Amino acid sequence: MSGYIGVTVIGNVVAKPEMRQVGQTQVAKFKVAANTGFGEKKSVAFFSIDQWGKSGEASVKYLEKGSQVAVAGTLTCREYETKDGKKGMSLEIRASDVTFLGSPGGQEKREEQTPVTSAPAGNDPTTDVPF
């Protein structure tokens, strides 16, 4: 039986996602910053996100720097070599689900609400109360 490492991160998008072509498939790449701890122990963790296909296109279209998101997916390990020949390792999240939670700065874009009007004169329901 093979293993599975599932993760969920809620945080803010660090920079506008970018779409890249990998073979014949497109992948959206972006980073999410999540606050951890509190008080003097407060810190920030950064996560690299890969989101493949059509769902990645939606993230590129709608997410901005500062947007709050919930990302669920699998943890993957990628090895690489730097220009000076040193080997490195990067942990990334391959997103299976990205939920848009809020716009940058927490300022939701709301549609104009229809103003509430009072009842027409003579139709006050409180005047017919029997007590």
Q: Which two tokens stand for residue 70?
A: 């919930």
Residue 76 falls within a domain, yes or no?
A: yes
All residues at 6 or more sequence positions from 119 whose CB lies less than 8 Å from its CB, including other chains: 125
Residue 131 falls within a domain, yes or no?
A: no
CATH number at residue 90: 2.40.50.140
Which residues lie across from 100 on neighbouring strands? 69
Q: Which two tokens stand for residue 76?
A: 């993957």
Residue 117 falls within a domain, yes or no?
A: no
What span, in angstroms and rounded, lies between the C-alpha atoms of 59 and 78? 22
Per-residue pLDDT of the chain (131 residues; tens, 9 = 90+): 677 789 999 999 999 999 998 888 899 999 999 988 888 888 888 899 999 988 899 999 999 999 999 999 998 888 888 888 888 888 899 999 999 998 776 555 444 333 443 344 455 555 555 55
Domain that holds residue 71: 6-104
Residue 90 falls within a domain, yes or no?
A: yes
Residue 82 falls within a domain, yes or no?
A: yes
The amino acid occupying position 35 is N
All residues at 6 or more sequence positions from 125 whose CB lies less than 8 Å from its CB, including other chains: 119
Residue 64 falls within a domain, yes or no?
A: yes
β-strand pairing of 87-102 with 25-36: unpaired
Residue 130 falls within a domain, yes or no?
A: no
Token pair 């549609």: residue:
111
